[in-house]
């Protein structure tokens, strides 16, 4: 992928200059935690038998850090192409002394493609870039192709958890997932998709949405 295509896809891969300690962590901690695609293929990122959960586009890592602290027996992979987000996550991993997070600083597509079948028990896709304009919508992470790729990487009975503050993206995602024979939407009442998951850790993006007066949809899909 060319740099121009990368920027178009991710919006921006680099923003504010990193603080000195964040830069240091990018050189020291990231290489220790970085997910190599071959290690992912081989299932050797954690000891055998550990459940794996994935968060795609973790932003500043607030949710990933909270989930990892709460579930020390689960192995977490966070995937985020934005360097400032990765640096922030690393600072959080260091501060909390977490041993169960691995990081991939890239587009999640290659990571999902490289994962063995049924690798993950849960996949979180929280507030993916909404690409609101009609001509941009083809860039949305939820596409027919990615629905199939996510299903392959999830265990039967595993969950895809999706949150958005953009009504149109909630509808877009529901249409694609309801049309897929690979997933079952878990909501029974409106309360189910209006209420965050148990132990929810609000993300930075969610805080911005609330400040702007927007609510959220929390959609849970079970892999058949």
Ligand X SMILES: C[S@@+](CC[C@H](N)C(=O)[O-])C[C@H]1O[C@@H](n2cnc3c(N)ncnc32)[C@H](O)[C@@H]1O
Interacting residues with ligand X (CB under 6 A): 10, 56-59, 79-82, 85, 107-109, 126-129, 141, 203-206
CB of 62 vs ligand X, minimal distance in Å: 7
For the question of residue 129 being annotated catalytic, the response is yes
Q: What does DSSP assign to residue 212?
A: T
Which are the contacts of 66, defined by CB distance < 8 A and separation ≥ 6?
A: 199, 201
Residue 221 DSSP SS3: strand
Catalytic residue among 106, 117, 129, 167: 129
The CA–CA distances, whole Å, from 193 to 125, 146, 220 equal 15, 22, 8
Instruction: Output 57 or 158, the one with its CB closest to ligand X.
Output: 57
Instruction: Output 4 or 49, the one with its CB closest to ligand X.
Output: 4
CB of 140 vs ligand X, minimal distance in Å: 9
CB of 48 vs ligand X, minimal distance in Å: 27
> Going by DSSP bridges, is the β-strand pair 52-56/75-79 parallel, antiparallel, or unpaired?
parallel
Q: Please list the residues that pair with 106 across neighbouring strands.
A: none
Rounded to the nearest 5 degrees, what angle is found at the Cα of 76, between the Cα atoms of 22 and 186?
130
Instruction: Output 3 or 188, the one with its CB closest to ligand X.
Output: 3
Instruction: Output 124 or 221, the one with its CB closest to ligand X.
Output: 124
Report how far Cα 46 is from the mean position of its chain's Cα atoms. 19
CB of 47 vs ligand X, minimal distance in Å: 26
Residue 220 DSSP SS3: strand
The answer to whether 160 and 195 are in contact (CB under 8 A) is no
Active-site residue set: 129
């Amino acid at each position: 992928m060319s740099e121009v295509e990368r920027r178009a896809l991710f919006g921006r891969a680099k923003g504010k200059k990193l603080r000195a300690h964040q830069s240091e962590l990018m050189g020291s901690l990231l290489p220790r935690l970085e997910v190599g695609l071959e290690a992912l293929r081989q299932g050797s990122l954690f000891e055998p038998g550990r459940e794996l959960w994935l968060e795609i586009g973790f932003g500043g890592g607030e949710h990933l850090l909270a989930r990892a602290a709460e579930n020390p027996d689960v192995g977490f992979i966070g995937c985020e192409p934005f360097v400032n987000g990765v640096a922030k996550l690393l600072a959080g991993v260091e501060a909390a002394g977490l041993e169960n997070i691995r990081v991939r600083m890239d587009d999640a597509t290659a990571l999902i493609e490289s994962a063995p079948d049924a690798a993950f028990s849960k996949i979180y896709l929280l507030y993916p870039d909404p690409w609101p304009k009609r001509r941009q919508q083809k860039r949305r992470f939820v596409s027919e192709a990615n629905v199939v790729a996510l299903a392959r990487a999830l265990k039967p009975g595993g969950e895809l958890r999706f949150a958005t503050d953009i009504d149109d993206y909630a509808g877009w995602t529901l249409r694609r997932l309801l049309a897929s024979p690979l997933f079952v939407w878990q909501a029974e009442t409106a309360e189910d998709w209006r209420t965050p998951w148990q132990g929810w850790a609000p993300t930075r993006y969610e805080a911005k949405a609330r400040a702007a007066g927007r609510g959220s949809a929390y959609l849970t899909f079970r892999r058949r």
